[in-house]
Amino acid sequence: MLLRDKVGLLIDDIAAMRTTVRIQLASVGLEKCDQARDIKEAIDKLNTKYYDLIVCDYNLGKGSDGQQFLELVRRKRLLPMTTAFLMITGETGYQQVSTAAEYSPDDYLLKPFTAETLGTRLVRIIEKKEALKPVYKHIGPKTDSEKALAACDELLAKKTRYALDVMRIKGELLLAKGRASDALALFNEVLQQRSTPWAEVGKAQALIAYGNSDEARILLEQTLTAYPNYVAAYDTLANLLYKTDKIAAQQVVEQALHVAATTQRQRDLGALALANKDFGRAEEAYRIAVDRDRTGFFKSHDDYAALARSCYEQEKIPEALSAVKDMSQHFQRTPELAARQAALECQVHIRAGDERAARAALEKAQAAQKSSSLDVNTQLEIAQALFASGQPDEAKNIIKQVAEDNQENDEIIEAARTVFEVAGLDEEGAEFLDTTRKNMIRLNNDAVALAKSGELDKAITMLVEAADRLPNNAQVAINAAQALLMRAQQQGADLTQIGQAHRYITQAIRVNSQHPKLEAAVAFYRKIAPPGARPLEV
Amino acid sequence: MDTLVAAAIHDAKNALSALGVWLDEAQRECGSENPSPALKQAKAVTATISGQLVELLALYRAGEGSLRLAVEDHHLEDYLTDLMAELADTRAANGIEGNAPIVIDTDFAFARGNAAWAFDAYLVKFVLLDALRNALRHARQRIHFAITAEPGGGIRFSITDDGDGFPEDILRSESSKTMSADSSGLGLSFARTIASRHATPSGQHGRLELTNQGLGGKGARFSLILP
């Protein structure tokens, strides 16, 4: 029996269900099976052990669900694609929440089920995992999309029964690599035989990558009419509309909420409602997110901050203040939390016209900022409070640092833009961020020009200064390493310089291990580094 | 969110599944070497009602505008294997056929050649099991169950028997008249709804086709065509 030598993990918040399923699993041969009752326990287990298969209930209580868990562990690269994942769902909770193949369970099983059915399904997905192993081993923790694509082509040439699964993965790899026309051709090939939701959405994504937004929008709307349960289509459409029509994007997320009311989708809706100044709706959505995730794994300062803002924008001062106060109950007391609360309180007090309290709160936030290193969202919150307090220059100083440091992170740049927007400075913000971006490009270009004209030392001084000041800017760190390696190549490798280059490459890997320029820098390092230099772990 | 009616149907279904567990327990108390025909029949009745509740719930949701199919790719061969296994279970439990078992011959060549199709596996399973059980009730000796490619796109599941065929009023009417003497017409209504709710972005829809061109030229032929 195929299941005899496998190791499984069963995740369910209800003890009785764990016992029942555990017995069923044992009766079909899976004796070695650990159990977890929530996401935290499951993650602890995954951190210490390899599992061949995971059986996970969709409803995990505490506002969290199996889909959230699957996406989280894939993103954190805790769950290799070679591990089989079976999602158990109740009949009314039977929702397709699948997005990319990477975030889709291998199969769904509806309750109630017999041990025999459970066994058959598990054997089937394990067989599939085995057949697709040549592809899966290059996706996930060690992504090498070129090798994965080559493995796809090899499998397709063999005409396996899993050809469609391979096509789906290949399409996603092509999209991720930005090869829009190849992806489009692939999805069209599938659609020529028949319609299927993933290929329709894939085609729309390829059209978007092509810049053909209008056609993509029409296709996505038609796809939703035919497949109203296919959540990935709502998400793709909402993302597409986000850039051009936030009101329409909010309506799409509202529709998606009817299909699958996940906590994450409440957050997405709240964010759009805030952007659309629909503060009442934003308050509702964030209140649900905060209530559901009170003890959950995904709770975040950001939800409370957004809830507070939704309230004070409606002049609901006591509600806003209590949202801020609640944070003390639900989070660990850290300098970050204190700074976030103070920055929020400052904004609420300004709304309420209490200048003295606002000033006191702002001072507290600024003191925290000086004494400890805060995360980006807390820094931006302080910038927001500074704008509200009539100190735009101080606010811009913070935003400049954040934007330079996180130049390649679209999400953070968007968050910085939103700070200007909330302060009523939309145009100034766009211009300011554009200038920051250009400055960073110029810094890199100037350094490269200096290096080329022989002034390598000057280039290195510039880049090293920038890389130390901007620890989250992978591009700058890579360029600093490249320049150091060039000098080592020209003047002979000394271990101090090589060590410095090592540090900057490691810095870049920490920020973004998938950075397109990283591969060349790593190869250069390995070529130049003398024996005895620290090896690079990539 | 589900309305009161949907929630009540769902509760009833949960209660039935609890009843099924108790019936199993009762059989265990009787001793498994001594199977009780009455308990077996009772178990089969719970399965029938449970299926009817699934159909009722789907029709109710369709009326409310909240029925959303879960369309995804399914390997046709695996799907049909599971379906036939489930049918065998209910045949064993139901005893619909009396003493001379009816032969079901299948033509799944298309499924073996074409790996997957996108449809709502759960709801379509109820449509096909209903149609197969209905054919078992009316067939004399044989049933033919096939999956084929539909000219112009789509797939066709067809279930043909060698009985007397559908009554005239069912063939004529679009409405949900009785599918068989002992059923309320729920099954056919459900099948029509599920068929037509299957659609593609380019606007093709699924449908049912009922004819009396079955085996021997007069038996019933039930076809479910999915886009």
What is the pLDDT confidence band of residue A13, given thresholds at 50, 70 and 90?
very high
Q: Average pLDDT, whole number, for chain B?
A: 86
Closest partner CB to B200 (pick from A95, A161, A195): A195
Residue B87 shares a structural domain with residue B109: yes
pLDDT tens profile A326-370: 999 999 999 999 999 999 999 999 999 999 999 999 999 999 988
Instruction: Report CB contact under 8 Å: A194, B117.
Output: yes
- Whether omega before A318 lies within 30 degrees of 0, making that bond cis, reads no
Could you tell me the two tokens for A9?
């993990």
Closest partner CB to A96 (pick from B70, B116, B201): B70
Q: How many CA atoms lie within 13 A of A209 on its CB side?
A: 19
The answer to whether residue A436 scores a pLDDT higher than 90 is yes
Q: At residue A236, what are phi and psi to the nearest 5 degrees?
A: -65, -45
Structure confidence at residue A370 (pLDDT): 87
Strand order in the sheet with A107-110: A33-36, A8-11, A53-57, A84-89, A107-110
Structure confidence at residue B118 (pLDDT): 95
Structure confidence at residue B180 (pLDDT): 47
Residue ranges and CATH numbers for the domains of chain A are: 1-131 (3.40.50.2300), 261-390 (1.25.40.10), 439-528 (1.25.40.10)
Q: Which domain, by its residues, includes B169? A: 70-226
Segment B196-216 shows an average pLDDT of 93
Residue B105 shares a structural domain with residue B213: yes
Query: Measured between alpha carbons, how far is residue A459 from residues A472, A487, B100, B102 in Å?
Result: 20, 10, 92, 86
Do the bridges between strand B221-226 and strand B207-211 make them parallel or antiparallel, or are there none, so unpaired? antiparallel
Structure confidence at residue A95 (pLDDT): 55
Residue B81 shares a structural domain with residue B180: yes
Segment A23-32 shows an average pLDDT of 92
What is the pLDDT confidence band of residue A533, given thresholds at 50, 70 and 90?
confident
Residue B179 shares a structural domain with residue B194: yes
Residue B213 shares a structural domain with residue B103: yes
Q: Average pLDDT, whole number, for chain A?
A: 91
Interface test with B, best of A195, A200, A203, A234 (most B CBs within 10 A): A195
The answer to whether residue B183 scores a pLDDT higher than 70 is no
The answer to whether residue A466 scores a pLDDT higher than 60 is yes
A223 touches chain B (CB under 8 A): yes
Structure confidence at residue B177 (pLDDT): 47
pLDDT tens profile A243-290: 899 999 999 999 999 887 788 889 999 999 999 999 999 999 999 999
The answer to whether residue B94 scores a pLDDT higher than 70 is no
Segment B130-140 shows an average pLDDT of 91
In terms of CA atoms, which chain A residue is nearest residue B114? A161
Domain boundary among B31, B52, B68: B68
**Rounded Cα distance, A505 and A475, in Å:** 10
Segment B129-150 shows an average pLDDT of 93
What is the pLDDT confidence band of residue B96, given thresholds at 50, 70 and 90?
low
| Residues of B in Cβ contact (< 8 Å) with A110 | 122
Instruction: Report CB contact under 8 Å: A222, B115.
Output: no
Query: What ipTM score was computed for the predicted complex, to two decimals?
Result: 0.88
| Residues of B in Cβ contact (< 8 Å) with A114 | none
Segment A409-437 shows an average pLDDT of 95
Residue B97 shares a structural domain with residue B56: no
Segment A304-332 shows an average pLDDT of 96
Domain boundary among B68, B99, B118: B68
Length of chain A: 538
Residue B89 shares a structural domain with residue B147: yes
In terms of CA atoms, which chain A residue is nearest residue B10? A92
Instruction: Report CB contact under 8 Å: B78, A124.
Output: yes
pLDDT tens profile B152-182: 899 999 999 999 998 887 887 654 444 444 4
Residue B124 shares a structural domain with residue B189: yes
The answer to whether residue A456 scores a pLDDT higher than 80 is yes
What is the pLDDT confidence band of residue A61, given thresholds at 50, 70 and 90?
confident
Structure confidence at residue B17 (pLDDT): 81
pLDDT tens profile A194-248: 999 999 999 999 999 999 999 999 999 999 999 998 888 999 999 999 989 999 9
Residue B136 shares a structural domain with residue B205: yes
The answer to whether residue A324 scores a pLDDT higher than 90 is yes
Residue B58 shares a structural domain with residue B90: no
Residue B77 shares a structural domain with residue B162: yes
